[in-house]
A = this chain, B = another copy of it.
Amino acid sequence: MSVFEKGTPFTMKEKNKRLILQCIQDDSPLSRSEIAEKLKISKPTVSSIVEELLQEEWIKEIGARTAGAQGGRRPIQITFNHQARFVIGVDIGGTKTLAAISDLSGNLLATTLFHTQEEVQCGILHKVNMVAKQMLAELNIDEKKVLGIGIGVPGMTNVKDGIVIDAPSLRWKMHPLKHEAEKIFPWPVFIDNDVNVAVLGEQWLGAAKGMSNVVLISIGTGIGCGMILEGNLYRGSSWAAGEIGYFVTDIHQAKQKDDPIYSGYGFLDRHAGGAGIANKASQALKKQSNHPLQEKAVLTAKDVFDYAKSDDPIALKIIEEVIDHIGFAIANVISIINPEVIILGGGISKSADWYLPRLEEIISQFASVPTEVKRSAFGSEIGVLGAVSLVLRERECVLKTLS
């Protein structure tokens, strides 16, 4: 697709056009002459390509700047048109689904939230299509100006064939989501794992802006990570990269016969994931009497966290162990990947401030190189932002649409 493309005058021009647009997007406002200087492309070439981009509305002229101190003609300022095209981002979660319309700079112009489960029967995608069209109508955006729709899915995904291999919370197995979506939407469809999508978002506009090597660790029901390596999402040879829920951080415990094995969950999931925490807590409470948590009908990881924060000894012991497991897992990730930064995402990242010092202690002591750990820069919108970023990345071919 990219490497094996032959060179023709046409591809040559496409390349230069993309280069110029990118340059304007990064450093606007710019004049034609500044672009020529920056990219070392001759002024006539720049002028002719800029002319085309203007016609296609990718860029705008915003009048002349004052001339330099030594005089000369005033340069015509050119800026990127953030509203040239739009992208639809969708974050399908186990409980809630968020859909949004975004411009080319990641400004979310409209969002709609709905409960996933209520729609899972008659088709989440139809619901998405409905709310998307509604939002587009309200914003008065022509459907033809939509570059594509990006969908983040909570499960392992074969991006190439567009198949969701396994998404337990949606009960999808080998679900041909992309194919199905292409029948419904009039736009190009791109799908990926929710963690991959999240790290794309953080690298585009969040805690890892512009970095080339980024790992986002998501701790929720299970534990997983998304990785951007050398600027590109790394998905592994069978879409299973980043499955650190399977990390074994204690070989003696792993080898014990009574260490439980649930299919679809790994050692770290069981010992540090949300479900594992709740499980451990209820086991510990059985041996105990008169504990306030016993009154809860359904025990969640959040409950255990809350009690730990208020220094409840039982909860604290559990959480400390959990944090240790996570800390060593992160240290191991650092040792093998050597990222610029580790970003904490997922439900548990909300209490990050509380346990971050302990994580940092473990990392500084055991990881191969000291590495910064940050929490996610976004809240619930990270998923849709990442989905938008996915579309923009995969559709480098953007310029071909209108030219």
- List residues of chain B with CB within 8 A of the CB of A398: none
Contacts A6-B15, A6-B19, A229-B234; A248 near B249 (Cβ below 8 A): yes
Which A36-74 residues have a C-beta within 8 angstroms of B? 39-41
CA distance A266 to B334 in the complex (A): 13
Q: Is the CB of B251 within 8 A of A249?
A: yes
Q: Is the CB of B331 within 8 A of A248?
A: yes
From A242, which residue of chain B is reached at the shortest CB distance? B336
- For A336-367 the 0/1 string (1 means CB < 8 A from B) is 11111000000000000000000000000011
Contacts A237-B338, A332-B332, A339-B236; A366 near B246 (Cβ below 8 A): yes
- List residues of chain B with CB within 8 A of the CB of A337: 236, 241, 336
Contacts A7-B11, A250-B251, A251-B250; A244 near B16 (Cβ below 8 A): no
Q: At the interface, yes or no: A9 with Cβ under 8 Å from chain B?
A: yes
Contacts A232-B230, A325-B251; A243 near B19 (Cβ below 8 A): no
Q: Is the CB of B248 within 8 A of A328?
A: yes
Our pick among B6, B19, B248 for the contact of A4 (Cβ within 8 Å) is B19
Q: Is the CB of B229 within 8 A of A338?
A: no
Q: Is the CB of A246 within 8 A of B331?
A: yes
Which A1-17 residues have a C-beta within 8 angstroms of B? 4, 6-9, 11-16
Q: At the interface, yes or no: A174 with Cβ under 8 Å from chain B?
A: no
Q: Is the CB of A367 within 8 A of B336?
A: no
Q: At the interface, yes or no: A109 with Cβ under 8 Å from chain B?
A: no
Q: At the interface, yes or no: A213 with Cβ under 8 Å from chain B?
A: yes
- For A243-271 the 0/1 string (1 means CB < 8 A from B) is 11111111110110000000000110000
Q: Is the CB of A368 within 8 A of B246?
A: yes
Quote the shortest CB–CB distance from A233 to chain B (angstroms). 10
Please report A residues at the B interface, Cβ cutoff 8 Å. 4, 6-9, 11-16, 19, 39-41, 211-213, 225, 229-230, 232, 234-252, 254-255, 266-267, 324-325, 328, 331-333, 335-340, 366-369
Interface pairs A-B: 3 shortest CB-CB? A236-B338, A7-B12, A243-B368
27 A/B residue pairs, CB under 8 Å, sorted by A: A4-B19, A6-B16, A6-B40, A6-B41, A9-B12, A212-B237, A225-B336, A229-B230, A236-B338, A237-B338, A237-B339, A237-B340, A240-B338, A240-B369, A243-B335, A243-B336, A243-B338, A246-B335, A247-B335, A248-B249, A248-B332, A248-B366, A250-B251, A251-B328, A254-B366, A333-B336, A336-B337
